[in-house]
Chains A and B, each alone.
Chain A
């Protein structure tokens, strides 16, 4: 196992080492100590490796991740797993603003709460939050899934496209063009799989409600012309 102590090693050296790893890498397990809230820890990895970060991180941790499994044993600042492509990112604590923003693939699991704008403009990523999420989450979310075991804040799914949102608790308010939708068998099935992948046990899919696009904002409506 590779252990990197950020109290001694510059962050740039760690990230360069991680970038050197590729498909056939033998250095599969990495341990990062003393992240001290640094920005961009373990960003841009493109290899099937395991990275365990012991402590709280700052902005953009595990951004653009491909293939890797990154676990933060602590909380993450704004933009964790931003634009993730594939792989798995797990935060054992809370995540700040815009967790998983613009993510294209992979799975982001937040065991605590996520604050505002979680999954903003998500494009295929799956996000599972065990706690609550803040306001304006899944704003303009295009595809992928956002699963919330707790409550959602104001304006959930504002101007949403085709992402699927599942919320177990209360939703403070829905954003423009976001509506509650029927949970059909395929949704129960998809949700069960997401919960399983996220390691969530003892929760039934029937406890969730599904939200998605009413598809009324997709095209310009001539009746609204006077509003401009």
Chain B
């Protein structure tokens, strides 16, 4: 069992409240996944800049001198913003790969969680409300967010095993369920040049969608392909820079409820996650059909 929440805003007026609404939704899903939690938040992109979210179990020691080293290596200024065990580096778009190479080479104990123009990912072991608090989720703003509370089944309870998983720029995936063909698929994807940070099945699903989108498919097409190529139980919620997608396997055991108003599209593993959203009384509330792709793009 796991809990998923997602909120894709249509109304700009709600953007300042994105973090607060997501934190409230996440808190209702604590008992579905008390061992760890995480969230991806899509903020307003800054022209010509890319954000790199990094994490370390020992931020004091590991992040020391990191911004200066990256700045020196790429020959340009770097913004560094620390949030508990995570930090966000903002670098010029054309220097993002060089910055990541520097981090990997000189700071081997630092993990890269996400890269992109708008995405930031925060995830940690611990009770979901505590995780949300330590990263100050409630104060964050943006256009869409996806959160996850984890009850681990397929791999260890670690920071890196928590969701969301990001395997491509501005992409993320959260998963409730378990995949049975992830080892074979991981091998195939590795063969095609995809890289993996964990032994987790959900990371394979994320990499699969990235691999499909790298072939030029949009999120909706990639999700449709996943129905043929992924075996197991899944409800996925997926984010891209300006898109938000939902899919359930054909058996659809893993619960899902959605709501849509003029202001937002929202996802919850249960209705409890949606109950406090503004205007929910008048929202269209429905259960997504099995083996059916739902996606919204800005």
Contact: B271 with A58, CB < 8 Å?
yes
Which residues of chain B in 263-278 are interfacial with respect to chain A, using CB atoms and an 8 Å cutoff? Answer: 270-276
Which residues of chain A in 74-100 are interfacial with respect to chain B, using CB atoms and an 8 Å cutoff? Answer: 75, 77-78, 93-94, 96-97
Q: Tell me whether A30 is interfacial, beta carbon within 8 Å.
A: no
Contact: B270 with A58, CB < 8 Å?
yes
- Distance in angstroms between the alpha carbons of A94 and B250 in the assembled complex: 20
Count A-B pairs with CB separation below 8 Å: 45
User: What A residues does B255 contact at CB under 8 A?
Assistant: 77-78, 96-97
User: What A residues does B270 contact at CB under 8 A?
Assistant: 37, 58-59, 77
User: What A residues does B274 contact at CB under 8 A?
Assistant: 37
Q: Identify the closest chain B residue to A136 (Cβ).
A: B251
**Which stretch of B87-95, B172-180, B284-292 is in the interface?**
B284-292
Q: Tell me whether B252 is interfacial, beta carbon within 8 Å.
A: yes
Contact: A38 with B272, CB < 8 Å?
yes
User: What B residues does A96 contact at CB under 8 A?
Assistant: 255, 257, 287
Least CB distance, B247 to chain A, in whole angstroms: 16
User: What A residues does B275 contact at CB under 8 A?
Assistant: 36-37, 56
User: What A residues does B287 contact at CB under 8 A?
Assistant: 94, 96, 115
**For the complex, would chain A's binding face be called helix, strand, loop or mixed by DSSP majority?**
loop
For chain B, give the interface size range: 10 to 19
- Distance in angstroms between the alpha carbons of A58 and B274 in the assembled complex: 11
- Distance in angstroms between the alpha carbons of A38 and B251 in the assembled complex: 25
How many residues on chain A are close to B (CB under 8 Å)?
A: 18
Q: Tell me whether A63 is interfacial, beta carbon within 8 Å.
A: no
Contact: A77 with B290, CB < 8 Å?
no
- Distance in angstroms between the alpha carbons of A116 and B273 in the assembled complex: 21
User: What B residues does A77 contact at CB under 8 A?
Assistant: 255, 257, 270-271
User: What B residues does A58 contact at CB under 8 A?
Assistant: 270-272
User: What B residues does A212 contact at CB under 8 A?
Assistant: none
User: What B residues does A164 contact at CB under 8 A?
Assistant: none
- Distance in angstroms between the alpha carbons of A96 and B276 in the assembled complex: 20
User: What A residues does B257 contact at CB under 8 A?
Assistant: 77, 96
- Distance in angstroms between the alpha carbons of A115 and B257 in the assembled complex: 12
Least CB distance, B254 to chain A, in whole angstroms: 10
Which residues of chain B in 162-191 are interfacial with respect to chain A, using CB atoms and an 8 Å cutoff? Answer: none
Q: Tell me whether A104 is interfacial, beta carbon within 8 Å.
A: no
User: What B residues does A94 contact at CB under 8 A?
Assistant: 286-287
Which residues of chain B in 215-255 are interfacial with respect to chain A, using CB atoms and an 8 Å cutoff? Answer: 250-253, 255
Q: Identify the closest chain A residue to B285 (Cβ).
A: A75
Q: Tell me whether A134 is interfacial, beta carbon within 8 Å.
A: yes
Q: Tell me whether A168 is interfacial, beta carbon within 8 Å.
A: no
User: What B residues does A97 contact at CB under 8 A?
Assistant: 252-253, 255
User: What B residues does A78 contact at CB under 8 A?
Assistant: 255
In this complex, which of B251, B273, B285, B287 has the most chain A Cβ atoms within 10 angstroms of its Cβ? B287
Q: Tell me whether A145 is interfacial, beta carbon within 8 Å.
A: no
Which residues of chain A in 10-68 are interfacial with respect to chain B, using CB atoms and an 8 Å cutoff? Answer: 36-38, 56-59
Contact: B271 with A56, CB < 8 Å?
yes
Which residues of chain A in 97-116 are interfacial with respect to chain B, using CB atoms and an 8 Å cutoff? Answer: 97, 115-116
Q: Tell me whether A210 is interfacial, beta carbon within 8 Å.
A: no
- Distance in angstroms between the alpha carbons of A93 and B271 in the assembled complex: 13
Q: Could you mark each residue 160-182 of chain A with 1 if its beta carbon is under 8 Å from any beta carbon of chain B, else 0?
A: 00000000000000000000000
Contact: A36 with B290, CB < 8 Å?
no
- Distance in angstroms between the alpha carbons of A218 and B250 in the assembled complex: 28
User: What A residues does B252 contact at CB under 8 A?
Assistant: 97, 115-116, 134-135
User: What B residues does A93 contact at CB under 8 A?
Assistant: 285
Least CB distance, B295 to chain A, in whole angstroms: 20
Q: Identify the closest chain A residue to B28 (Cβ).
A: A37
User: What A residues does B286 contact at CB under 8 A?
Assistant: 94
12 residue pairs bridging A and B, Cβ less than 8 Å apart:
A36-B275, A37-B270, A37-B274, A56-B271, A59-B270, A77-B255, A77-B257, A93-B285, A94-B287, A96-B257, A97-B252, A134-B289
Interface residues in chain B, defined as those with a beta carbon under 8 Å from any beta carbon in chain A:
250-253, 255, 257, 270-276, 285-287, 289-290
Given contacts A97-B252, A97-B253, could you give 13 more A-B pairs where the C-beta distance is less than 8 Å? A36-B272, A36-B275, A37-B272, A37-B273, A37-B274, A58-B270, A59-B270, A77-B255, A94-B287, A96-B255, A96-B287, A115-B252, A116-B251
5 nearest CB pairs, A to B: A37-B271, A37-B272, A36-B275, A37-B275, A56-B271
